Amino acid sequence: MIHVLAVITAKPGMRDAILTEFRANMPAVHAEEGCIEYGPAIDADGAGSIQTKYGPDSFVVIEKWASMAALKAHGAAPHMAAYAAKTRDMIASRVIHVLSPA
């Protein structure tokens, strides 16, 4: 199994617009072979001092894939290219962590 944590930081005030496009793309991603989990997450409220927040312009994509081949196919999928084209000008930065279970 492959885990992915992608930290997306939007240009100021653009996070909701990116999330709208992201959610519209989710059914196509969920239908991909090898997709186990794929969804966005934002800072939770009420965690107190234990939490280090990402902030109002960021979200994290939490992904699980059956294999590295499935993840690579996801990255090459036409719907991902279309999503990237729609959101490119809204994103300030993107950091992707690809992980294996320890």
Burial of 31 (0-12, 13-18, 19+ CB in 10 A): exposed
DSSP 11: S
pTM: 0.93
Per-residue pLDDT tens digits for 32-73:
999 999 999 999 999 999 999 999 999 999 999 999 999 999
65 residue type, one letter: W
Q: What is the mean pLDDT of the chain?
A: 97
Q: How far is CA 4 from CA 47, 59, 78, 90, in A?
A: 23, 13, 20, 21
Q: Helix or strand or coil: residue 15?
A: helix
The whole-number pLDDT of residue 69 equals: 98
Domains of the chain plus CATH, in order, are 13-42+54-99 (3.30.70.100)
